[in-house]
Structure 1
Amino acid sequence: MQLGAVVRRRSPMGGPRRFAALAGAVVVATFVASCGAGRPHDPASVDATMNIEESHQDVLKVVAAVQGVVGKDGWADDDAGWNICSSGGTAAAQYTYATTRKLPLPGTPDDVARKVAQALDAIGYEGARVQHETTLTPKRTVIGYPNGYNGGTAPDKFGIQFGVNDGYADLSVYGHCVPGNVPKLGSSLNPRPTDLP
């Protein structure tokens, strides 16, 4: 790690600070628990087919695909930043991005989720299943990729969580854990300390 860099030291599944205030905190907490249940010290597999820049762009591509379906306006509470994702002594980094939207949907929750699954399929993330979360109030239509709702992440910690109900959508993307150091603060890939306003 470079001197002067500020890196969030948190779970690779995102910031509990942000999710605590959201109605979907239970969804995220369950997803987080399912990723590491029984294996709290397993290091992430590193996806050596991508570099830092490609992993960053891949997360932004997923965000753009979802927003292309749901609508580009009205997204807020963005929480984006870099995490160290290797505990094996080799430098590795993961970019995460979470955001919510509280505006009318361009269709029913099921229609929107189905179109989001199709958009993910079109950018190479095939097989996202549309499912229903009935334990939350209000109920949600959800997508969890790659292993379905509450199915955890890929071995390299990549995952997508999307939830939608009338007038509400949330998206969390956990990028591929890739070789390299967390980008230096002030660089184009890490323009600000992720724990500061």
Structure 2
Amino acid sequence: MAVIVALLGSSAALLTSCADNGPHAPASEGSSSTPEQSHKNVLDIFEAVKSVVGEDGWEAGTQSNWLGCSSNGEDAAQFSLVAIRKHPLPAAPDEVTRGVANALKTDAGLDGVPVQHDDTLRPPRTVVSYPNGYNGGTAADGFGVEFQSGTDFASLIVWGHCVPGEVPDLGTPLNPRPTDLP
């Protein structure tokens, strides 16, 4: 329970430290990005993390959802994913987190992801967060990534880019019912 509380506190800090503290505008006016591309980007980031941490153990602690995110009254959508893995890591937390930072750069195109430490959490965590560092907030369009590792623990939070378009209907391939998730 303490792990979930710490993770939620961390995600609340990331969200509340956003520059505009309100709904996010789409990435840019007339952006060619689509909800499908935003969804794929989030899943690609998750795959990059799993390539370092391992495929197993994420199933029970993974949730994703779509949100409306436009502040100018036009339809816009944002896909988010939270994943928690409570299993032994393949290496020491610092090594795993450095590997995740490298995978985010090479596999997901996120350059300049700093490796940081949070000794206020128990047990302490090694953290990478993009685009503004740990607790530095999201990009103007709401995009952000945070990965934490500790002894026998890893977590990932990804807020996709806010893109023009409607939130996909529940039960469709982009927004399956909770029982339809892979």
Q: Fold-level match, TM-score > 0.5? A: yes
The residue aligned with 1:127 is 112
Checking the alignment, whether the CA contact within 8 Å between 2:26 and 2:164 is kept in structure 1 is no
Deviation at 1:28, TM superposition (A): 1.8
Please, what is the CA RMSD of the aligned residues?
2.1
- Once residues 136 and 43 of structure 1 are traced to their aligned partners in structure 2, the CA distance between those partners, rounded to angstroms, is 29
Tell me which of 28, 35, 38 is aligned to 2:18.
Answer: 35
Q: Give the percent of matched residue pairs that are identical in Structure 1 and Structure 2.
A: 48
String of CA shifts for 1:84-137, please: whole Å, max 9, x gaps.
Answer: 000211100000001100111111110000000000001211111000001111
> The residue matched to 1:59 in structure 2 has which SS?
helix
* Pairing partner for 1:99 from 83, 88, 112: 83
- Structure 1 residues 182 and 115 mapped into 2: Cα distance closer, same or farther (>3 Å)? same
Unaligned runs of 5+ in 2: none
The answer to whether the Cα contact below 8 Å between 1:131 and 1:149 also exists between their aligned partners in 2 is yes
In the alignment, structure 1 segments of 5+ residues that lack a partner are 1-17
Q: Which moved more, 1:185-194 or 1:154-163?
A: 185-194
Partner of 1:110 in structure 2?
A: 94
Q: TM-score, length-normalised on structure 1?
A: 0.82
| Aligned CA distance change for structure 1 residues 64 and 42 (closer, same or farther; 3 Å) | closer
Residues in 1 aligned to 2:93 and 2:103: alpha-carbon distance in whole angstroms: 15
1:86 equivalenced with 2:67 (yes/no): no
Q: Is the 8 A contact 1:46 1:92 kept in 2?
A: no
Q: How many residue pairs align between the two structures?
A: 175
Kindly indicate whether the alpha-carbon contact (under 8 Å) linking 2:82 and 2:156 is maintained by their aligned counterparts in 1. yes
Secondary structure of residue in 2 paired with 1:35: coil
Q: Is the 8 A contact 1:80 1:96 kept in 2?
A: yes
Matched, 1:169 2:150: no
TM-score, normalised to structure 2, is 0.89
2:18 maps to a residue whose letter is C
The C-alpha deviation readout for 1:125-153, integer Å capped at 9, x for no partner, is: 11110000011111000011011000101
Which residue of 1 is the match for residue 141 of structure 2? 156
Separation in 2, partners of 1:52, 1:183: 8
Inter-partner Cα distance in structure 2 for 1:130 and 1:159 = 15
1:61 corresponds to which letter in structure 2?
Answer: D
**Higher helix fraction (1 or 2):** 2
Q: 2:53 — aligned with what? A: 70
Runs ≥4 residues deviating over 4 A: none
Match of 2:27 in 1: 46
Structure 2: distance between partners of 1:97 and 1:171:
8
Deviations 1:168-193 (A, max 9, x none): 00001100000000011221101126
